């Protein structure tokens, strides 16, 4: 049982380049999330998907797009990377139903540097 | 709306002494509350969670937290700190229904020999 898997783990981009962070969970969870982590700021929500077929903006959505491809996969795209997007990105999922319904499961993180 | 405040950005203790990491939350409804730990350059690991069962919650590695509704607090404690406890700790609140977890800014726990 792999849990939440996100790729790549490390990436260096040049300003203006685009890239997609991939996230997949194998726990049949309904809700998925993308957060960014910056020093002293905790984790801030970029986008989330409450269920397959829906996506919504979080606290810091500017410069990002997302796709909930199916129930398993939720990708985050940077169309034109900026140095301000240098951060650590975490994908997460929650079941919402059942005894473990609101435990948050995280991927291992993606360290992104934009130069 | 929900929010969570971690009252200390840094806490410094000596090995073998008690640990107290403070968290207050704001929520219109009965929340679910979590503590996560993050070691340097690592992912997030669940320490413990409160989901409206017992108000005193025991977690891994000797940590526990008490939910106090009257004080809107969920402070994390450990009787005796270990060097391996040095890490960043996050308090998280999630409302049933919205399921949008909100994080505190984190508390860095420093453990001195």
The pLDDT value recorded for residue A97 is 61
CB B15, CB B113: distance < 8 Å: yes
* Contact between chains at A106 and B106 (C-beta distance less than 8 A): no
Overall average pLDDT of the A87-101 stretch: 80
What is the least distance, in Å, from the CA of A37 to any CA of chain B?
10
Residue A113 has pLDDT above 80, yes or no: yes
The pLDDT value recorded for residue A39 is 86
The pLDDT value recorded for residue A79 is 93
Contacts with A41 from chain B: Cβ below 8 Å:
105
- Confidence category of residue A40, pLDDT binned at 50, 70, 90: confident
CB B4, CB B12: distance < 8 Å: no
In the predicted model, what is the mean pLDDT of chain A? Answer: 92
CB A101, CB A95: distance < 8 Å: yes
Contacts with B57 from chain A: Cβ below 8 Å:
none
* Contact between chains at A102 and B94 (C-beta distance less than 8 A): yes
The pLDDT value recorded for residue B20 is 98
Residues in chain B: 113
The pLDDT value recorded for residue A88 is 96
The pLDDT value recorded for residue A98 is 58
Q: Which of B10, B33, B101 best probes binding to A when mutated, by most A CB atoms within 10 angstroms?
A: B101
The pLDDT value recorded for residue B51 is 78
What is the least distance, in Å, from the CA of A40 to any CA of chain B?
6
What is the least distance, in Å, from the CA of A75 to any CA of chain B?
18
Q: Which residues of A touch B (CB under 8 A)?
A: 31, 33, 35, 40-45, 48, 50, 58, 90, 92, 94, 96, 102-104, 106-109
Residue A100 has pLDDT above 70, yes or no: no
**Consecutive sets of 10 residues in chain B, 113 residues long: mean pLDDT of each?**
89 98 85 91 90 86 93 96 96 76 93 96
Q: Which of A9, A40, A42, A112 best probes binding to B when mutated, by most B CB atoms within 10 angstroms?
A: A42
What is the least distance, in Å, from the CA of B44 to any CA of chain A?
7
For residues A102 and B10, which has the higher predicted lDDT (pLDDT)? B10
CB A82, CB A18: distance < 8 Å: no
Q: Which residues make Cβ contacts (< 8 Å) with residue B86, sequence separation at least 6?
A: B109, B110, B111
The CA-atom distances, in angstroms, between A68 and each of A11, A36, A71, A95 are 22, 18, 7, 15
């Amino acid at each position: 049982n792999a849990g939440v898997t996100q790729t790549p783990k490390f990436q260096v981009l040049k300003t203006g380049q685009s890239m997609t962070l991939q996230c997949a969970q194998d726990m049949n969870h309904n809700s998925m999330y993308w957060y960014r982590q910056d020093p002293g700021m905790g984790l801030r929500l970029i986008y989330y998907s409450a269920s397959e077929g829906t996506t919504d903006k979080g606290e810091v959505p500017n410069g990002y797009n997302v796709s909930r491809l199916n129930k398993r996969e939720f990708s985050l795209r940077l169309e034109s990377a900026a140095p301000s997007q240098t951060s650590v990105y975490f994908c997460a999922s929650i079941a919402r139903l059942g005894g473990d319904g609101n435990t948050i499961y995280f991927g291992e993180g993606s360290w992104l540097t934009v130069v | 709306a929900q929010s969570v405040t971690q009252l200390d950005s840094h806490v410094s203790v000596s090995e073998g002494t008690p640990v107290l990491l403070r968290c207050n939350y704001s929520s219109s409804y009965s929340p679910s509350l979590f503590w996560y730990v993050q070691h340097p350059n690592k992912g997030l690991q669940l320490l413990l969670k409160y989901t409206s069962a017992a108000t005193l919650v025991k977690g891994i590695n000797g940590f526990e937290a008490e939910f106090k509704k009257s004080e809107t607090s969920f402070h994390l404690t450990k009787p005796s700190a270990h060097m391996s406890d040095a890490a960043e700790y996050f308090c998280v609140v999630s409302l049933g229904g919205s399921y949008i977890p909100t994080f505190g800014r984190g508390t860095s726990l420093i453990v001195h020999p």
